[in-house]
């Protein structure tokens, strides 16, 4: 792999937010800060033929994020009011969060894949109490003690901002071309991280905007959810294999830094998951009749399992469940069934 976003990489090493950069004629990256270890999301701005701007992703909804986006647009000679259209790679808050503010300020359209649009608009995602109840029930079905699930999910008040994210007014299916004049951005459906995750292939320049599907340093979280894909890791690896079959001129991810060498990177991510699957298979062999909640505690993580709680533990358990489901689809493990299934090695 070749690091092409050198300013982004240098900023990462110093734990700073990188600068706004012009990447091609009429194309810029604007970092929008967010909480957590990823620190920022790269919003991509396009100068449109006939005037105005198009964006890929919106950024985390906060006053700090809004200030970074508006000042970033001003630095390239534009403003939020110039935005005509917003392409959203997927439904997560760091990508969709500021979309409603952008739409209110500019009357821009917002587009995403139908699978993610359906989740954003669903009753459980528009009501914080319903969202909490569904998540607690789901965690209990993975083996969590009810009280632990309640503590990890937290109070409904914390989730209220997530229930008012923009519902898109345009839908993009796999293969559709976005309505951004002067650019040829083809939607590529890459499910796994979310059911409706989209990458965008810019066919005139050979650039690939990879969202969270492919990142240069970390592997994106692939988890099961109460309303998501039945086998998200299987879908993710299939999409990864599909998108890694061609080598774009440059990969522009939503986090970390730009790079070349997509085929090499997708092979490394696939190898990571195969290693993880082998580790999980050993854990099921050593601890038969275990739930995903119990199995997660047997795996290798970046810190001792006892330090995992709240959202970190939820991600770890649901990621473990995604790996268990792939082992099941390969015929390597079998479920006991019931409200809280447990897992053992398949006979033979």
Phi-psi region of 145 (alpha: psi -120 to 50; beta: other; left: phi over 0): beta
Helix (H, G, I), strand (E, B) or coil at 123: helix
pLDDT per position as a tens digit, 57-80: 999 999 999 999 999 999 999 999
pLDDT of residue 338 exceeding 90: no
Q: How far is CA 266 from CA 12, 316, 321, in A?
A: 22, 22, 22
**Per-residue pLDDT averaged across 216-230, rounded?**
94
Beta-ladder partners of 116: none
The DSSP H or E segment spanning 303 is none
Topology adopted by domain 263-348: Arc Repressor Mutant, subunit A (1.10.10)
pLDDT of residue 347 exceeding 90: no
CATH of domain 2-121+167-260: 3.60.15.10
- Minimal CA–CA distance to 27: which of 5, 43, 46, 42? 46
pLDDT per position as a tens digit, 284-303: 999 999 999 999 999 999 88
Both tokens of 150, joined, read 């309640």
- What pLDDT does residue 236 have? 98
257 with 8: CB under 8 angstroms? yes
Both tokens of 167, joined, read 């519902």
pLDDT of residue 231 exceeding 70: yes
pLDDT of residue 3 exceeding 90: yes
pLDDT band for position 260 (50/70/90)? Answer: very high
- What pLDDT does residue 73 have? 98
Question: Of the ranges 230-239, 263-272, 337-346, which one carries the lowest mean pLDDT score?
Answer: 337-346
pLDDT of residue 348 exceeding 70: no
**Per-residue pLDDT averaged across 111-125, rounded?**
95
Q: Which residue has the higher pLDDT, 331 or 246?
A: 331
Percent pLDDT > 90 in the chain is 93
- What pLDDT does residue 99 have? 98
pLDDT of residue 127 exceeding 80: yes
- CB burial of residue 271 (10 Å; 0-12, 13-18, 19+): exposed
Beta-ladder partners of 30: 43
204 with 183: CB under 8 angstroms? yes
Kindly report, as residue ranges, where domains of CATH 1.10.10.10 are found in the chain.
263-348
Q: How far apart are CA 108 and CA 318, in angstroms?
A: 35
- What pLDDT does residue 161 have? 87
302 with 321: CB under 8 angstroms? no
Can you count the helices (H) and strands (E) in the chain?
12, 15
Terminal Cα distance for the chain, rounded: 40
Average predicted confidence (pLDDT) for the chain = 96
180 with 15: CB under 8 angstroms? no
pLDDT of residue 277 exceeding 80: yes
Q: How far apart are CA 164 and CA 31, in angstroms?
A: 23
- What pLDDT does residue 36 have? 87
Phi/psi at 122 (nearest 5 deg)? -70, 155
The angle that helices 262-286 and 232-243 make with each other, rounded to 10 degrees, is 160
Kindly report, as residue ranges, where domains of CATH 3.60.15.10 are found in the chain.
2-121+167-260
**268 Cβ partners below 8 Å, 6+ apart?**
none
Q: How far apart are CA 121 and CA 137, in angstroms?
A: 20
For the beta carbon of residue 261, count every other beta carbon within 10 angstroms: 18
pLDDT of residue 149 exceeding 90: yes
pLDDT band for position 212 (50/70/90)? Answer: very high
326 with 280: CB under 8 angstroms? no
Helix, strand and coil in the chain, % to nearest 5: 40, 20, 40
130 with 101: CB under 8 angstroms? no
């Amino acid at each position: 792999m070749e690091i092409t976003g050198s300013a982004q990489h240098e900023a990462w090493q110093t734990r700073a937010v990188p600068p706004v950069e012009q990447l091609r004629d009429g194309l810029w990256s604007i970092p929008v800060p967010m909480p957590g270890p990823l620190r920022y999301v790269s919003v991509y701005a396009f100068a449109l033929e006939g005037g105005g701007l198009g964006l890929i992703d919106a950024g985390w909804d906060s006053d700090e994020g809004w200030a970074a986006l508006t000042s970033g647009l001003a630095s390239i000679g534009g403003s939020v009011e110039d935005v005509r259209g917003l392409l959203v790679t997927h439904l997560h808050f760091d990508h969709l969060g500021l979309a409603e503010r952008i739409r209110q300020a500019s009357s821009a359209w917002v587009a995403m894949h139908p699978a993610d649009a359906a989740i954003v608009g669903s009753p459980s995602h528009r009501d914080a109490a319903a969202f909490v109840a569904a998540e607690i029930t789901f965690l209990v079905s993975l083996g969590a003690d009810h009280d632990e699930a309640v503590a990890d999910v937290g109070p409904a008040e914390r989730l209220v901002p997530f229930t008012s994210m923009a519902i898109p007014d345009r839908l993009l299916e796999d293969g559709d071309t976005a309505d951004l004049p002067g650019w040829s951005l083809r939607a590529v459906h890459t499910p796994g991280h979310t059911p409706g995750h989209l990458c965008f292939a810019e066919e005139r320049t050979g650039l690939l905007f990879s969202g969270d599907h492919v990142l240069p340093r970390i592997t994106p979280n692939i988890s099961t959810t109460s309303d998501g894909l039945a086998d998200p890791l299987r879908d993710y690896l299939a999409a990864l294999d599909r998108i890694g079959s061609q080598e774009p001129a440059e990969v522009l991810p939503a986090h970390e830094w730009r790079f070349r060498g997509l085929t090499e990177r997708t092979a490394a991510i696939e190898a990571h998951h195969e290693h993880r699957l082998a580790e999980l298979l050993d854990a099921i062999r050593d601890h038969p009749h275990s739930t995903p909640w119990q199995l997660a505690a047997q795996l290798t993580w970046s810190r001792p399992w006892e330090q995992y709680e709240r959202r970190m533990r939820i991600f770890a358990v649901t990621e473990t469940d995604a790996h268990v489901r792939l082992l099941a689809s390969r015929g390597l493990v079998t479920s006991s069934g019931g409200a809280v299934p447990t897992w053992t090695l398949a006979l033979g």
